[in-house]
Amino acid sequence: MTLEKRDFDAIVVGSGPNGLAAAILMQQKGLSVLLIEGKETIGGGLRSAELTLPGYIHDICSAIHPLAVASPFFETLPLDKHGLEYIFPPIAAAHPFDNGKAAIIKNSIEETAGLLGADEQAYKKLMQPVVNDWPAIAPDVLGPLHYPKHPLAMARFGLTALTSAAHLIKRFETREARALIGGMAAHSIQPLTNAATSAVALVLMAQAHLKGWPVPRGGSVSIANALAAYFLSLGGKIETNFCVSSMEQLPSAHAVLFDVTPKQLLQIAGHKFSAVYKWQLERYRYGMGVFKIDWALDAPIPFTTAGCREAGTIHLGNTFEEIAATEQQCSEGRTVEKPFVLLTQSSLFDPTRAPKGKHTAWAYCHVPNGSKTDMTEAIEKQVERFAPGFRERILARHIFNTAQMEAYNPNYIGGDINGGIIDLGQLFTRPALRWSPYKTSAKGIYICSSSTPPGGGVHGMCGYHAAKRALKDVFDIV
């Protein structure tokens, strides 16, 4: 296949949420934009398919979307007019324990704190300022390093956010509060002793209290479809099933933005970069991978605790200490027997996901980058641990190891779904130490993937900021 031989103002390569965001912003500014996708369908991590049995719709990558509804850019778009509908589970997340009880995060800070016993006031003291300040600091938190618009509010957030989760839990004494924070921080896919792991926990918990953790009706693909439909309504053009392997394949354009990680960017455009920039990209670090399972189920997962049966997301890891130990071991290249498992049960709230009376579930655990170890048994044991009888309800399963994840989406290097580890060394300088992290050393070439600030998550802000940079540099549009 060859692309249409015409000139465009801008080309975006890769149609994940960041590529879509970049294309939309540039098209909004009156430019002619071509969006290119290597697969048959757009979406990147926003795809859904019948992975197990006919009629069972599974989210292939992302499933629950607190950052999509928190995105300062996405919230400005009329995506509801293009078919996007969010469903909000009554409980954002639950964290069960071996004794049959669970820590639960509800929409209200007061309700959540009230379930934490001796830590009620400590939780309120931690979360109320973050929730109050979020509308002001969101554009700064979800963006590159710069002088913030609200420095005092950002300072309040940063003093806590830049600490490790292991340090943050010292404020709490109950098993429930400590585990709740541990499960949230483990979304960072790195040891919980690392600096800035608290940031992930704070942002996710704040979103639970502000807008919730929603499920897109019909699957995560609904977000991608709505973004694409809006882009097309503006006059944008999309080409799918075209894998870009070199700059020479592309039509003429003033700016090219890549929704890829440094490894692919070097393969495609490395010959155009300076020696120093290439040196930095070659040393970019990827983090742990994931092993993922999707299940078709005969009935809902029989969690022992009622709160878990009302939650969209379940964190399976028992105590903070257990989660911290397994994440540390995994980061050191070891396979763990009882991994921390993130599980979603979207069909409880979205009846379009499975035939009537049937259900789906989605789960993954962290593994060493590039590991091909089959974690099916370990993950299912963890589910069964908190939901006895779970395995009896499995009709079919589909698995992805790290190699299969990368084959499905080349951005998932070694199974790393965050586009590179987001530790303190790569939090604001990803993918390279530059005045603008989105601007490469080659004129007119930009990177807009989750390998740039603010990193992983379905929020589109990497693409938004990269497009803003290109608009200013190339087109003198602010």
Same-domain check for residues 263 and 293:
no
Q: What is the pLDDT of residue 4?
A: 64
Residues 166 and 194 placed together within one structural domain of the fold: yes
Residue 120, both tokens = 């009620």
> Tell me, what's the pLDDT at 199?
96
Residue of 117, 202, 141, 142 lying closest to 168 (CA atoms): 202
The answer to whether 371 and 329 are in contact (CB under 8 A) is no
Same domain membership, residue 430 and residue 338: no
**2 belongs to a structural domain:** no
- Which has the closest alpha carbon to 35: 218, 234, 223, 221? 234
399 and 452 housed in the same domain: no
The pLDDT value recorded for residue 196 is 95
Q: Are residues 309 and 351 in the same domain?
A: yes
Give counts: helices (H), strands (E), the chain: 15, 16
| Same domain flag for 311 and 402 | yes
d(CA 241, CA 18): 18
Give CA–CA dist 227/71, Å, rounded: 13
Question: Are both 383 and 307 inside the same structural domain?
Answer: yes
Domain boundary among 408, 433, 454: 408
Q: Is residue 321 part of a domain?
A: yes
Q: Does residue 463 sit within a domain?
A: yes
Instruction: Look up residue 439 and give its two tokens.
Output: 């601007």
**Total domains present in the chain:** 2
- Tally of CB atoms within 10 A around 69: 18
Which strand (E) or helix (H) includes residue 13?
Answer: strand 8-13
Q: What is the pTM of this model?
A: 0.96
Structure tokens at 93: 């997340």
Nearest C-alpha neighbor of 33 from the set 20, 47, 46: 20
* Residues 220 and 210 placed together within one structural domain of the fold: no
Q: How far apart are CA 359 and CA 137, in angstroms?
A: 38
pLDDT in tens, 414-432: 999 999 999 988 988 899 9
Strand partners, 253: 8
Of 376, 408, 440, which residue sits at a domain end?
Answer: 408
DSSP track, 159-176: HHHTS-HHHHGGG--SHH
CA atoms of 457 and 273, how far apart (whole Å): 28
Domain boundary among 352, 377, 408: 408
Please indicate, yes or no, if residue 129 is contained in any of the structural domains.
Answer: yes
The reply to whether 247 falls in a domain is yes
Residue 354: CB partners within 8 Å, gap ≥ 6?
A: 55, 56, 57, 296, 297, 347, 360
Contact between residue 191 and residue 324 where contact means Cβ atoms under 8 Å apart: yes
Same domain, 220 and 325: no
pLDDT at 329: 97
Residue from 42, 36, 18 nearest 449 by CA: 18
Extract the tokens encoding 259: 């929704």
**Res 7: pLDDT:** 86
Residue 203 counted as domain residue: yes
Do 156 and 187 lie in one domain? The reply is yes
By the 8 A CB rule, do 320 and 164 touch?
no
Q: How is 204-260 classified by DSSP, letter by letter?
A: HHHHHHHT---EETT-THHHHHHHHHHHHHTT-EEE-S----SGGGSPPEEEEEE-S
The answer to whether position 414 is within a domain reads: no
Are 60 and 48 within 8 A, CB to CB? yes
CATH code assigned at 447: 3.50.50.60
Tokens matching residue 406 = 């990368």
Q: Which residues of the chain have pLDDT under 70?
A: 1-5
Q: Are residues 98 and 203 in the same domain?
A: yes
Domain assignment present for 413 = no
Cα–Cα distance, 263 to 292 (Å, whole number) = 23
> Is residue 65 located within the same domain as residue 209?
no
Question: Which pLDDT score is estimated for 260?
Answer: 98
Range of the domain at 70: 8-84+216-285+421-475
pLDDT in tens, 12-29: 999 999 999 999 999 999
